[in-house]
Amino acid sequence: MQLRMTNQREMILRELKKSKKHLSADELYERVKKFMPRISLATVYRNLEILSDASMIRKLEISGRQKRFDSELEDHDHIYCVQCHRIENLDIGDKEVNLTEVDTRGYAITGRRLEVTGVCPKCQKKNSKKNAKK
Amino acid sequence: MQLRMTNQREMILRELKKSKKHLSADELYERVKKFMPRISLATVYRNLEILSDASMIRKLEISGRQKRFDSELEDHDHIYCVQCHRIENLDIGDKEVNLTEVDTRGYAITGRRLEVTGVCPKCQKKNSKKNAKK
DNA sequence: TTCTCTGCAAATAATTTGCACCCAT
DNA sequence: ATGGGTGCAAATTATTTGCAGAGAA
């Protein structure tokens, strides 16, 4: 199957790269729509799948309600706010995770990801206000 | 808000504990239905939320299409098949992950999870058959 | 020209919610 | 008895798909 570089696909790729965040399909749709008002959300979904199959972008397996995509291909780690679902990159050294001695149950390993969960500074602030009211 | 221990809730908790796997709401629904045919899927969803809010079970933030729940409360790690979405526990020593020197960007850390992705043995077998046919 | 891609609308899938009745405390 | 819980159906949310026409190679 040949991949064609359509205007839509190019734009989606460009906007995802431009944003340093981990966007969901509809966030990306909103951005791309500014330049291509007639683009369809289905096109965004389809391209995100196609581009990640082609390893041009990365589909994040982090949850939340929506799938998220990242233009950064390298394995890297995330910190995830359990309250507002914000996801940010986490910079840890290679030395912090060492899989060499772990029994991986016969899996052919494609990647590893360290995900740290917590409450982000903004939500902490929100919470302390709430508690003060009570 | 008082928590009541209804038959449905008890059964949901029991079945989740009985299964050592990471079940989704509808998988659990199918199991519980054998004993309580009139239970509603909405009840299962509601209870899974309530029980995880009450820290009686754990909501896994691993993605895939569905949310998954685990009766094991301890932080532990997973290996995830990117092809069939199977999730299994991974037994790694504490020593393998060390967050003490990592900049956590002001987050109040609630947990960490190492997620390894790969292709499980079954899918590897499937794939080699497919490729042979071609 | 050829075949992938697109927009649109309709279909699915996963989850949530309103409501009237039920039942654990 | 009282207020949280349940079943049911309908509503939302996220994603996928069928189809006919558009456009990249």
Residues of B in contact with A85 (CB under 8 A): none
Q: What is the Cα–Cα distance from B53 to B3, expressed in whole angstroms?
A: 11
Residues of B in contact with A120 (CB under 8 A): 105-107
* Contact call for residues B28 and B48 (beta carbons, < 8 A): yes
Residues B97, B123 within the same domain: yes
B95, pLDDT greater than 70: no
| The pair of three-digit structure tokens given for residue B40, joined into one six-digit string | 């509603």
Mean pLDDT of chain A: 80
Domain holding A93, by residue range, is 76-134
- CA A27 to chain centroid, in Å, comes to 11
pLDDT tens for B5-55 read 999 999 999 999 998 778 999 999 999 999 999 999 999 999 999 999 898
Residues A48, A17 within the same domain: yes
| The pair of three-digit structure tokens given for residue B3, joined into one six-digit string | 């928590």
Residues A68, A85 within the same domain: no
Residues B1, B54 within the same domain: yes
Q: CA of B2 and C1' of C20: distance in angstroms?
A: 22
CATH number at residue A115: 3.30.1490
Residue B133 banded pLDDT, cuts 50, 70, 90: very low
Compute the nearest-CA separation of B74 from chain A (Å). Answer: 14
Residues A9, A33 within the same domain: yes
Q: Which H or E run contains B89? A: strand B87-90
The nucleotide minimizing the C1' distance to residue A64's CA is D14
* Contact call for residues B24 and B89 (beta carbons, < 8 A): no
Q: What is the Cα–Cα distance from A59 to A73, expressed in whole angstroms?
A: 9
Q: CA of A30 and C1' of D4: distance in angstroms?
A: 41
User: H helices of A1-98, where?
Assistant: 7-18, 25-33, 41-53
**3-state secondary structure at position A45:** helix
Residues B17, B45 within the same domain: yes
CATH number at residue A19: 1.10.10.10
Residues B81, B47 within the same domain: no
Q: What is the CA radius of gyration of chain B?
A: 18
Compute the nearest-CA separation of A68 from chain B (Å). Answer: 10
Give chain B's domain count.
Answer: 2
Residues A85, A118 within the same domain: yes
A11, pLDDT greater than 70: yes
pLDDT tens for B45-81 read 999 999 998 989 988 866 667 888 888 777 677 787 7
Mean pLDDT for the stretch of residues A56-61? 84
> Is the pLDDT higher at B51 or at B130?
B51
**Looking at strand C, which nucleotides approach a protein CB closer than 7 A?**
3-10, 13-18, 23-25
First to last CA, chain B: 60
Residues B66, B1 within the same domain: yes
Domain boundary among B50, B73, B96: B73
Size of interface A-B (CB pairs under 8 A): 138
pLDDT tens for A13-22 read 999 999 877 8
Of B64, B95, B65, the closest CA to residue B80 belongs to: B64
Residues B42, B62 within the same domain: yes
pTM: 0.76
Residues A5, A68 within the same domain: yes
Residue A5 CB lies within 7 Å of the nucleic strand C: no
- Are residues A62 and B63, on separate chains, in Cβ contact within 8 Å? yes
Residues of A in contact with B64 (CB under 8 A): 61, 63
Domain boundary among A57, A73, A89: A73
Residue A39: what pLDDT? 97
Residues B69, B113 within the same domain: no
pLDDT tens for A66-90 read 888 888 777 677 787 767 767 777 7
Q: What is the Cα–Cα distance from B85 to A87, expressed in whole angstroms?
A: 22
Residues of A in contact with B111 (CB under 8 A): 116-118
Domain boundary among A20, A50, A73: A73
Mean pLDDT for the stretch of residues A41-49? 96
Q: What is the Cα–Cα distance from B132 to B134, expressed in whole angstroms?
A: 6
> Is the pLDDT higher at B82 or at A46?
A46
User: Closest chain A residue to B110 measured between Cα atoms?
Assistant: A118
Of B92, B104, B124, Cβ closest to residue A118: B104
A134, pLDDT greater than 50: no
